[in-house]
């Protein structure tokens, strides 16, 4: 019988029925007391999830729009920035910065590894005149399943004039991210991952010194002009028609996250990740990410020698209605990636691991049926 596909992807992630329901009501106009009451609540909850005292701006766009916005709003042509990249999404920030005519220094790690905060430190120390205006890093790189140590990178930046700009599109609301405490100046994220809402919203928070940079910026912008959004936010409004239904959905999803409690959400994702890693190992599979920085949002698994991982994915998808993802860019055909963030519980994960066992067996990989699931269950039964 037809079933919804179980999305164990890094995004879009599954939408909770309560969120779908809230979004399926007849639309309300954004210039009404009813919407403004929702927008006020929504903005307050966003600050809690961002772990910041600063305003969070909301845009009708994909996450990439907010990445671009951070570049267009903070810098001027020729400004120097340092981008630390460990995969597809770090590379995207390099491309955006170059598209806007910035002078881009790049620290790039082999895929599967995290940034070494010492490398950033050294690079900044060599920049004796502080030509570098900002350090831009990805918090969680979904293309490789690696999480950077943002707290340590924040430590490196402490007391330095450079802004710290973070792509937290896949991480915010899924793993700890202490925006103010870790000294992060700009955090950008999107709706379709840990926030459990369809794609179409992006967000950005800015520190006071980031706002100072905005005032100096000479790059052209209009739709993503941060100052216009901040000004309207004071009136509980947006400069352009907001994506009303997605905001209403996010407002409900944020309640679900905060009712659970951020710490509980983080703990659940961590345990789901541990269970996934243990299951992979029990199935005789090798993990792709370096163990010290393996992501709690998404687990990357190397394709076993001689096994067509795209075929494995296809069987999971068509036969068992479970969608996981493969490799992006140069990792295409080489890895499998299982997302475990957002509206995902242990039974979703166990179903996924079962489907993985079946599908690996079907393509001739010598998996012991039940091995992965058993290993995961042992971890999951401790409860999350």
Q: Mention every residue, 6+ apart, whose C-beta is less than 8 A from residue 314.
A: none
DSSP state of 225: -
Could you say whether residue 28 binds its own copies (CB under 8 A)? yes
Helix (H) or strand (E) holding 263: helix 262-282
Nearer to its own copies, 178 or 221 (CB): 221
369: tokens are 């049926």
CB of 344 to its own copies, least distance (A): 13
CB of 324 to its own copies, least distance (A): 10
Span of 25-33, 137-145, 253-261, 360-368 interacting with its own copies by CB under 8 A: 25-33
CB of 377 to its own copies, least distance (A): 26
CB of 369 to its own copies, least distance (A): 27
CB of 65 to its own copies, least distance (A): 5
Cis peptide before 277, with omega less than 30 degrees from 0? no
Q: What are phi and psi of 174, to 5 degrees?
A: -115, -35
Span of 174-182, 235-243, 278-286, 363-371 interacting with its own copies by CB under 8 A: 235-243
CB half-sphere exposure, 242, CA atoms < 13 A: 31
Could you say whether residue 242 binds its own copies (CB under 8 A)? yes
Could you say whether residue 37 binds its own copies (CB under 8 A)? no
CB 155 within 8 A of CB 28: no
Could you say whether residue 252 binds its own copies (CB under 8 A)? no
Q: List the one residue out of 89, 60, 55 whose CA is nearest residue 198.
A: 60
CB 273 within 8 A of CB 294: yes
- Residues numbered 290 to 329 that lie near its own copies (CB under 8 A) are 317, 323
Q: How many residues bind its own copies (CB under 8 A)?
A: 55
- Residues numbered 72 to 131 that lie near its own copies (CB under 8 A) are 72, 95-96, 99-101
DSSP per position, 288-350: -S-GGGB-SSEEEEEPPTT--HHHHHHHHHHHH-EE-EE--GGGTTTEEEEE--SS--HHHHH
Q: Is 337 annotated as a binding residue?
A: yes
* Residue among 2, 222, 306, 347 that touches its own copies (CB under 8 A): 222
CB of 60 to its own copies, least distance (A): 5
* Residue among 41, 161, 236, 240 that touches its own copies (CB under 8 A): 240
Q: What are phi and psi of 202, to 5 degrees?
A: -130, 165
CB half-sphere exposure, 211, CA atoms < 13 A: 13
Nearer to its own copies, 72 or 278 (CB): 72
CB of 2 to its own copies, least distance (A): 11
CB 251 within 8 A of CB 45: yes
Could you say whether residue 61 binds its own copies (CB under 8 A)? yes
124: tokens are 């900044």
Binding site for its own copies (CB under 8 A): 4-5, 7, 9, 11-12, 14-15, 20-21, 23-30, 32, 59-65, 67-68, 72, 95-96, 99-101, 190, 192, 198-200, 219-223, 225, 239-246, 317, 323
Which residues are annotated binding-site positions for substrate? Answer: 337
Which residues are annotated binding-site positions? Answer: 337
């Amino acid at each position: 019988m037809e079933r919804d596909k179980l999305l164990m992807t890094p995004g879009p992630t599954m939408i909770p029925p309560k969120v779908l329901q809230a979004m399926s009501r007849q639309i309300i106009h954004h210039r009404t007391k009813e919407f403004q009451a929702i927008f006020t609540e929504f903005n307050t909850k966003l600050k809690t999830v961002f772990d910041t005292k600063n305003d969070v701006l909301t845009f009708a766009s994909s996450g990439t729009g907010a990445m671009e916005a951070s570049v267009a709003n903070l810098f001027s042509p020729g400004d120097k920035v340092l981008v630390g990249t460990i995969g597809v999404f770090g590379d995207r920030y390099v491309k955006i910065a170059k598209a806007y005519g910035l002078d881009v220094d790049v620290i790039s790690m082999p895929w599967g590894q995290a940034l070494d905060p010492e490398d950033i430190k050294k690079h900044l120390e060599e920049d004796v005149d502080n030509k570098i205006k900002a350090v831009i890093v990805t918090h969680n790189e979904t293309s490789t399943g690696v999480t950077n140590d943002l707290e340590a990178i924040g430590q490196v930046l402490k007391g330095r004039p450079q802004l710290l700009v973070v792509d937290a599109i896949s991480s915010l609301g899924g793993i700890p991210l202490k925006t103010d405490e870790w000294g992060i100046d700009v955090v950008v994220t999107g709706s379709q991952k840990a926030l459990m809402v369809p794609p179409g919203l992006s967000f950005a928070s800015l520190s006071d010194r980031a706002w100072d940079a905005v005032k100096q910026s000479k790059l052209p912008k209009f739709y993503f002009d941060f100052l216009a959004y901040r000004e309207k936010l004071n009136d509980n409004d947006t400069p352009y028609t907001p994506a009303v239904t997605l905001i209403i959905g996010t407002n409900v999803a944020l309640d679900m996250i905060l009712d659970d409690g951020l710490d509980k959400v983080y703990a659940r994702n961590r345990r789901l990740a541990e269970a996934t890693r243990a299951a992979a190992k029990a199935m005789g599979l090798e993990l792709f990410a370096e163990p010290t920085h393996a992501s709690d949002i998404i687990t990357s698994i190397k394709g076993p020698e001689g096994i067509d991982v795209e075929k494995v994915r296809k069987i999971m998808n068509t036969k068992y209605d479970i969608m996981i993802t493969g490799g992006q860019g140069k990792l295409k055909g080489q890895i499998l990636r299982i997302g475990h963030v957002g509206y995902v519980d242990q039974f979703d994960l166990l179903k996924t691991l079962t489907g993985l066992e079946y599908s690996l067996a079907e393509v001739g990989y010598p998996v012991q049926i039940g091995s992965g699931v058993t290993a995961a269950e042992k971890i999951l039964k401790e409860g999350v």
